[in-house]
Structure 1
Amino acid sequence: MSNFFDLKITVKPEHIDILGHVNNVVYVAWMQDVATAHIEHLGVGLNKYLEMKHAMVAVEHHVQYRKAALEGDEIVLRTWFNDINALYSFRQYAFYRAKDQALLFVANTKWACVEIETGRPKRMSPTFIQAYQPYDGEQDPYDFSQEYFSQR
């Protein structure tokens, strides 16, 4: 099983800012979109969060914009876990343009486990720990010649 998850998207007019490229805040929304699709694929998505009464919430982002994405570009949003402990998971992102495999954006997020009702930190359940397996180092996350589970 791959450590990586890919989500394909097409840049739409509403993603473009006055400078003619994808607006920076759109990338952050895409981070959320691919993370949500990934956890759903792993079977520990939003419905499971509600059932377990705890969830993962973003507490810190680091982003780097490398190249501009333009309207009509096919973009692959790649994500993976690079570490996990009892309270936090650490997720990486690499977004690239499909046609030329140009790396457009890299980021990472620190996610904390919290009780939904109170918002207080909580130790991760075994369900999360089993599903959120960190990157094993065997594959190169920046090798864009192969796509991993993807959906559109």
Structure 2
Amino acid sequence: MNVDHDIQWDLPDPFTLEIVVREEDTDRLGHANNVVYVRWLEDISWAHIESLGMTWSLHESTGKAMAITRTEIDYLASANAGDHLVLGTWLTGFDGRFRSSRQFQLVRPSDGKTLVRAVSTHACVDMKSQRPARAPREFAEILSSASVPGGKGLATD
């Protein structure tokens, strides 16, 4: 990827994913469809937690998973087919028991423009019952140690 501008990340040291917008990612307006942005958020979230050791086999062995309970997305500018983008993410909070949060920033390096900012919150659930469950020790260690201070963390409401 040819990066013409330094990326101004909202927080330090993001986990990143490079994206090239495909023609099939666009909608009738000719820009990346909102559903595609959500897919990118999911793709980077899985890649990030797996890189930290929170693999699918760990989910299966503990019988627990972190399910998204809320996602807020601010669409600031559009992406078009052929655009080269970099999506960054950070874990920004863990309450020590059930809930975690994550922040995202999507940037087009060619002009340094931030296209999307998003925040998601997650709750630990039992994979069989789909009911809330306390995060296993393994999740708690990963989520606590990887959380970045200063992000848009867990809501207090």
Q: Which TM-score band applies after superposition, normalised by the shorter structure?
A: 0.7 to 0.9
Structure 1 partner of 2:7: none
Structure 1 partner of 2:148: 135
Calculate percent identity across the aligned residue pairs: 35
Question: Within the alignment, does 1:51 sit opposite 2:64 as a pair?
Answer: no
SS at match of 2:54: coil
Root mean square deviation of aligned Cα: 1.7
Structure 2 partner of 1:92: 103
- 1:16-60 deviation line (CA, Å, top 9, x unaligned): 111110011111111101101101111102221111110001011
Aligned residues: 138
What amino acid is aligned across from residue 106 of structure 1 in structure 2? R
- The runs of at least 4 aligned residues of structure 1 exceeding 3 Å deviation read none
Structure 2 partner of 1:82: 92
- What is the distance in 2 between the residues matched to 1:52 and 1:96? 35
Structure 2 partner of 1:38: 48
Change (3 A) 1:3 1:114: farther
Name the stretch that deviates more: 121-130 or 88-97.
Answer: 121-130
Q: What TM-score does the superposition give when structure 1 sets the normalisation length?
A: 0.85
- What is the distance in 2 between the residues matched to 1:46 and 1:66? 33
Q: Please, which of 13, 17, 28 is the counterpart of residue 7 of structure 1?
A: 17
